[in-house]
Structure 1
Amino acid sequence: MPVSPETRKLRALAKTQLFVMDLPLADASGLLASQFGGADLKQPVVWRDAESELLVNPARTRVRYAPGFVFVELSVFTDQTGDAQLLLTYKIGGSPNEASLTAVAESRPRGDATLAARWAEPVTSLVWFALLRCGQVMLGRRRAKSPLVVAGVYTLGKVLSFIATEPVSTAALRDYYADVRAGDQPLDLSILNRRYLGSVPLVRR
């Protein structure tokens, strides 16, 4: 089956624009903590959910990696529990082919049972989006000729790797699915989400 010009352009773009930014473990805790909402990492940050408040100590944040996993330990405080820790586990991609912007997390963080039950959903979401913002911060430090976005994240265990690329335009999506509906092109979502890696050389910058 012939490949449409639009699909060829998407494949060429994937091959030329994909690159990887690595976040070393030594820098991870500080960069993640800086995304928690406070101007000074030494000062506590208050997270609110409905009528509840959780005091987070950014400077005491700890991050660890394992192949396909990110572990984040938060130091928190409430009037009811006093000082406590919450450990969040995120299952992410373990290779470039598995990179995405989603993660699987435990239903409740480990640590103080009362806090884990009350804050599981908001804290898990807040920390995950803070992790993704780390990639955006790293991307913002680089000079690019065209707009780039973080398209996926994975870890082999030593660093947290963010895949960056040009975004897929609405017009490209429309043309691609028009070809699919017409039967001129097989449905291949890997092209659209930039996971059309195959033999694509990922460049670290």
Structure 2
Amino acid sequence: SRKCKAACINGREPRIDYSRCVACMDCIETCQHGAIGFRMREKAPAGQTEKNIIHQAGKNQTDHARRSFLTTTVAVATTAALKAQEKKVDGGLAVIEDKKIPVRATPVVPPGAWSARHFAQHCTGCQLCVSACPNNVLRPSADLQKLMQPEMSYERGYCRPECTRCSEVCPAGAIRPITVGEKSSTRIGHAVWIRKNCIP
């Protein structure tokens, strides 16, 4: 329960709050007694034999796989259609031209993170901050060491000074809650002029 990033394990009762669990699997790695596992459970209706249960489970798994495939396909198609119609605007004010993503030696983490190291250790990659960002500044990292953890990228927008949404939704403590005043006094990154991208 101390190792849980989302603080959803109550070791005294014992009970797990699945509404907050982000499936980081740290509890399974930490437990040395095999008390915690991760598997699908199904309750058998009264009066069924073990053979019938196994047959029904196999059929349910096949149906579930088909249903999941169709749901995922529809979701991907819908998302692609919406993205195609989405206007490329920065905060609804100006049209954005496609920009090259610069190679950054150090990733820029959201304001509210203690440090890049603390952020990498505590972030579970749940994508809540990415989905909550109104200007699409946060995006999932493609780096294998920090896969799916958010990093700031200014190719699609800018980080609004009055916005603290990412610090409000983080369940793991990677981004601590901050005020607008604290954010204004935080140095987020170091600005660099890229000559070839400049249009006088």
TM-score relative to the length of structure 1: 0.22
- Structure number with the higher strand fraction is 1
Rg (Cα) greater in structure? 2
Which structure would you say has the larger RCO, counting Cα contacts within 8 Å and 6 or more residues apart? 1
TM-score relative to the length of structure 2: 0.23
